[in-house]
Amino acid sequence: MSNSRKGINFTFMIFMLAANLRLTITGLPPLVSTIQASLKLSNGQMGVLTTIPLLCFAGLSILVSRIIDRIGTSMTLKIALLLLAVANILRVYTTWSLFAGTILVGTAISMLNVLMPTLIIEWHPEQSAKLNGIYTSSLSLLSAVAGAISVPIANALGWRFTIQLFSIPAIIAVICWLFVGENPNQQIKRLKTDNLSKQPRTKHWKKPEIWFLAGFMGMQSFVFYTLVAWVPSVLTASGISAATAGILFGVFQLTGVPFAYFVPRATESHAKLIMVMTLQLIGYILGIGMLAFVGSNVALQVIACAIIGITTSASFSLSLTMISVISDTPQDAGAIGGLVQAIGYVLASVGPTLFGIIEGALNGWTTTMMILMAISVVTIIIGFAMIRSVKHRVA
């Protein structure tokens, strides 16, 4: 099998893994009311159900790197995909199976989340910016697709069969992996790993760039998931209809797709990183500010949602790509990725609830959004510190 062929297969594999990371998670929320009525679940039970994956991401991400070290990336990948497929098939029958299966889904996706940077740096480190761009833009695109298709499919085939259909990408991904071929960097990887991975993990945690990245990942996750949870409510509170708010929310999800692809290229130089971070600062302030203040002006809210979508996608894409930038080996990528994603998902799980409480206390979204804007500025300050700390790693 030629290197070109391997590259094509591996690129398609990245897309398939992104599909598995997003379809199962973002395809479920639109079905919540249907599932709730079918299984006679309370609002509290549904809240727990939708929170389980985030809790799994937060609690298990650090452990995944240990699994990768013990059994390797390829075996970990196969186990995660097969676990995901089986969990989606079996979790739809009873209340008990729904909750148990969702825990298994969260576990499988936690493994895949940490695996992605490791796979990229292990297989094609010279293409890490391009492959990270494909990965993050695919995540953004498939998030919107999953939310759009799940309800029509459920209306036609039922919610149980719809969730079971989400097993298909996992099965396809396992088959694809069998045909990717042998790692072209296997011998180089072994030599480098023998020299570098013997270092105690504690040495990694002494590097300031890792903690700046963890802070940036955590804060941008906090801002993003808070916006995902509350943008529709902010829009309807401004006087925009629920239907229009749904369309605007789609704008928020989709506009970031091309930017998620191109932003990883910024890691090629320190100057580009500074420029991207500066644009993100402007984007957060302008986007959140417009969301809070332009009211029911739909045209301006379209612009606001587009700016927010671009900015949050850029932040997420950059934070994932930086894992590859600061990692010397695939083992480093797994360990560092596990740490920063664990912190990110802990903060992500706190943000929506916290800002719901703040809005209730302040009785309005304007001041609440200003608080979120201030947090986004802190996020960018941490981002600039992160960029400064990796100056020796980029041109």
Residue pLDDT, tens place only, 359-394: 889 988 999 999 999 999 999 999 999 999 888 777
**What pLDDT, on a 0 to 100 scale, did the predictor assign at position 203?**
58
pLDDT at 196: 45
Name the residue ranges covered by the structural domains of the chain.
Answer: 3-187, 201-393
DSSP-derived 3-state class of residue 182: coil
Give 96's DSSP letter. Answer: H
Inform me whether the pLDDT recorded for 220 exceeds 70.
yes
pLDDT at 261: 85
pLDDT at 371: 96
Q: CA 114, 315, 306: angle at the middle one, nearest 5?
A: 125
Nearest Cα residue to 271 out of 391, 386, 382, 377: 391
The pLDDT tens digits of the residues spanning 37-56 come to: 899 888 778 778 877 888 88
Is-contact 280 315, C-beta < 8 A?
yes
- pLDDT over 80 (residue 12): yes
* DSSP string across 349-382: HHHHHHHHHHHHHHTSHHHHHHHHHHHHHHHHHH
- pLDDT of 188 > 50? The answer is no
Res 377: pLDDT = 97
Instruction: Provide the residue type at 215 as one letter.
Output: G
- pLDDT average, residue stretch 2-22: 72
Better-predicted residue by pLDDT, 311 or 393 = 311
Q: Average pLDDT over the chain, rounded to whole?
A: 84
Instruction: Find the DSSP H helices in the chain.
Output: 3-26, 32-39, 43-71, 73-90, 95-123, 128-157, 159-165, 167-178, 186-196, 201-204, 208-237, 242-254, 257-262, 270-293, 298-325, 330-362, 365-389
Is the domain defined by 3-187 classed in CATH 3.40.50.300?
no
| pLDDT surpasses 60 at 313 | yes
pLDDT band at 331 (very low <50, low <70, confident <90, very high): confident
Taking residues 15-26, report their average pLDDT: 83
pLDDT score for 202: 52
The pLDDT-based confidence of 186 (bands split at 50, 70, 90) is: low
What is the share, in percent, of the chain residues with pLDDT greater than 70? 91
- CATH, range 201-393: 1.20.1250.20
Residue 291 has pLDDT above 50, yes or no: yes
Closest by alpha carbon to 139, among 307, 317, 279, 337?
317
